[in-house]
A and B are shown apart, each in its own frame.
Chain A
Amino acid sequence: MNPTPAVRKERSMELQKAMMGEHFKNLARAKDLGKKVVYTFVPGNLNELIWTFGMLPVHPEVNALQIGLRKKSGDYILEAEKHGHSEDVCAYVKCDLGMLKRGNIGPTGEKLPEPDLLLLSYTGCFTFMKWFELLREEYRCPIVMLHVPYQGDGRITPDMTAYVARQISEKVLPLMEKISGRAYDPDALREHLASSARAERDLVAVWESARNRPSPIDAYFGGVYYVGPVFSAFRGLPACEVFYETLRQEVEERVRNHEGPITPEGPLKEERFRLIVEGPPCWPNFRDLWKMFYEEGAVAVSSSYTKVGGLYDAGFRHDPDRPLESLADYCMGCYTNLNLPSRIQYLERCLREYDADGFLINSIKSCNSFSAGQLLILQELEKRTGKPGGFIESDLVDPRYFSAANIKNRLESYFQMIKAKRSA
């Protein structure tokens, strides 16, 4: 059997790997280092604040997806089901709980520390609340929850910002002071936020590079690597800035050389289809799914999943001059907190700006936050842009929900449909 080909490693990839490695090492030694640990979710996370108090963040859904990528999630899910969780429960939750039951060994093989605080800073995903409720039962640690208003009217009003900022100020800061034993330092927070904004600027340049033909990036399969540092533990740290500067330079170099994105089998030779992709990938079959795209010359020129931790390309930046307010806006601004018309508007903009051939949904069985209303989005986008929509179904980390033959069949049909439409 041929071994799975390795992804061509660019310097940014090496940097990210080193950052992740060090972070998980620090987490494993957290107690020895005297560091407090905060569990929090990616969407709307308050990383800058966690760093301000010198604590270490853990993102359970990042662990779950990393474990999925390493094809270990199936076992953990079965473990969680053994403890009474049904097949329909969010697979991230079950993967995390299964991992916990098996000794809490993280994706890098090192033990994850227990949390000193559970910080729930985005409540648009109802499952997050239930997830932390379960973790609280396990760890018996303090929990703080921000109530984050939904963007039901398609915008964030000053009242909404003030409402969330007040919760941060009145609930989160005092508790973090108590747990970390440090006083809140607004200047330190401002520095972290300024650093975040610089990294975000470079990330947006990377996203916008996909306007080129060929696109130098795949904004979905490559994109999930690109968002790694900014969505997870590193936003607000100098290492994160270095990562995005490096990545941006690499991408700009590829634009100069008219190179396509790098796939696990080398640079893509011919860009045949430019797509906007909606929904998370199925992590245990990430490579299989990617292959189905690059084998057909299909490139994602933008994707909504890579915006769950912030719509920087729509203009959002962390702002040192409005520290708590910009954190509040960040909590409310993640993609799944947008109402359907806003999601449609955003995707329509992507379709037009990136001159895409079509729009493809990977609908996730166990994620209602993403999946509810997706067919409406698809139909509305088709109506507005005349671009064909495609639809596949799988799951986050539950390998039982990935049917390779069925998905390949649908994707091939979709690509051929675009081609037939083009030549009609």
Chain B
Amino acid sequence: MDCYLGIDLGSTTTKAVYLDEHERPLGRGITNSRCNYALACEIAGDEAGINSRFMLLRRRIEEEDGARDGLAELMKWLACSFTFAQYVDQLAALEEICLEEVERWNDAFERDLYAKTLASLFERMRSEAEEMFRPGLAARSDFFRDIVANQYLDHAERLAKDGAVSFDRLTAIYDRAILRVEGKNFATAYAKHLDLACERAVWRGGFEPLGETLRRAVDYAIGVAFNVRNTIGTGYGRQTLPIPKPQIRSEILCHGLGAHFMFPNTRTVLDIGGQDTKAIQVDAKGIAVNFQMNDRCAAGCGRYLGYIADEMNMGVHELGPLAMKARKAVRINSTCTVFAGAELRERLALGEKREEILAGLHRAIILRAMSLLARSGGVHDEFTFTGGVAKNAAAVTALKRLISENYGDRMINISPDSIYTGAVGAALFARRDREAI
């Protein structure tokens, strides 16, 4: 099947999107970019391939069996079962590497003690995993690292309670091993995982009547060969992508075109990513006509929120919901990440409420973005907000309020898939450049 691949190599995550010949999205994939860039691209690309197979699989079932009730539920079962199958393999790899770490120790007693502890720890994790991957359970994160870290550290803490083993040593083993696991690509085993997922979905999800249809669709999806006719890379790390220069496009253009594809009336785009903020004006075809971005300092970008989350000992996904509980926003003067940390501690010491401080911090970020928007030419109808920070409800609320105050009524678009905007734009360029060739 002919398709076009867009890859957005961001500072925090790498995203990939497949489009078909008619510029219809096929699938998308995401991975964190902590491992090396070439591998991150490969993994995100493979994940997008898997996602595309899910899309084709669903289309095949609909063609064969009609769009029937329960299909959405079946797809959910299939997706979480696939993730489960992958997780089991990832967990096995992590266990193996953790044991290798311990094997290197000189002290035979310790070696033995920790090997046994690890075996018990992973056994507990495996037995829990089955229940963690069910439809309707909100995933804490898309990434193995985030999911497994919670589980591992919980059990490590429990096992270390009696004092025989040290929690710190168990953590150190994990820290070294996780990097190596992230260096492995599990997406290539998609056929095996899809097979297992198919079985689990049918038996655990209670979809026996659809079993044969699903089996045929899975076989078809596994068998599809993707013929990537063109790839365009973009994003913070685009210069490091293993593709030639003509196939590299600036993220400004990609975000502009991607936002226009998702919302065709878009004229102004705001993207707040890991370490840059971009205000982009686009024309009726989605081509960037003006832009402004933050200069040397990444204050007020996604990383700022990450830092604040660390300061408050919270997950970055928890910041927005907590800030939403605030009844007023504390005035935060600094978007300098380091100064904001100091200001945050000072406010906490003064007894200000955490949620109100957080509301103030979100407002401070958005104020900075408003300045960039103004410099790029203002906010025109329609306005599309993209990037990881667009998922943060408190940031969105602050943005809506400030846009209304400064520019009046504007249609504000936020796609739940906004994190893929740059990759979508890149895939569109891949399709259109190919056409030009």
Contacts and interface: CB of A to CB of B under 8 A. Distances in A.
Interface of A: 375, 379, 382, 388-389, 391, 393, 401, 403, 406, 409-410, 412-413, 416-417, 420-421, 423-424
Interface band, chain B:
10 to 19
A116 B292 CA distance: 47
Nearest to B278: A413
Nearest to B248: A412
Interface stretch (B176-184, B282-290, B393-401): B282-290
Interface string B21-51: 0000000000000000000000000000000
A424 B296 contact: no
Contacts, number: 47
Q: Is the interface of B mostly helix, strand, loop or mixed?
A: mixed
A401 B285 CA distance: 35
Contact of B288 (A375, A406, A417): A417
Given A413-B250, A416-B249, A416-B250, A382 B290 contact: yes
Which are the 9 A-B pairs with shortest beta-carbon distances?
A413-B250, A413-B252, A403-B296, A420-B287, A393-B295, A417-B288, A416-B250, A424-B287, A412-B250
B361 interface: no
B253 A413 contact: yes
Interface string B287-327: 11111110110000000000000000000000000000000
Interface string B200-226: 000000000000000000000000000
Contacts of A410: 293
A273 to B, nearest CB: 14
B289 A406 contact: no
B293 A401 contact: no
Interface string B143-172: 000000000000000000000000000000
A401 B296 contact: yes
Contact of A417 (B253, B293, B296): B253
Contact of A389 (B285, B290, B295, B436): B290
Given A379-B377, A406-B296, A417 B249 contact: no
B375 interface: yes
Contacts of B283: 421, 424
Contacts of B377: 379
Contact of B253 (A391, A403, A416): A416
A403 B275 CA distance: 14
A182 B233 CA distance: 70
A420 B285 CA distance: 10
Contacts of A412: 250
Contacts of B287: 417, 420-421, 424
Interface in B250-264: 250-253
A24 B46 CA distance: 64
Contacts of A417: 250, 252-253, 287-289, 291
Given A409-B250, A413-B252, A417-B252, 20 more contacts: A382-B289, A388-B289, A388-B290, A391-B292, A401-B296, A403-B295, A403-B296, A406-B293, A409-B293, A410-B293, A413-B251, A413-B253, A416-B249, A416-B253, A417-B253, A417-B288, A420-B287, A421-B287, A424-B285, A424-B287
Contacts of B253: 413, 416-417, 420
A263 to B, nearest CB: 18
15 contacts: A379-B377, A382-B289, A382-B290, A388-B290, A391-B292, A391-B375, A403-B296, A409-B250, A413-B252, A413-B253, A413-B288, A413-B291, A417-B253, A417-B291, A420-B288
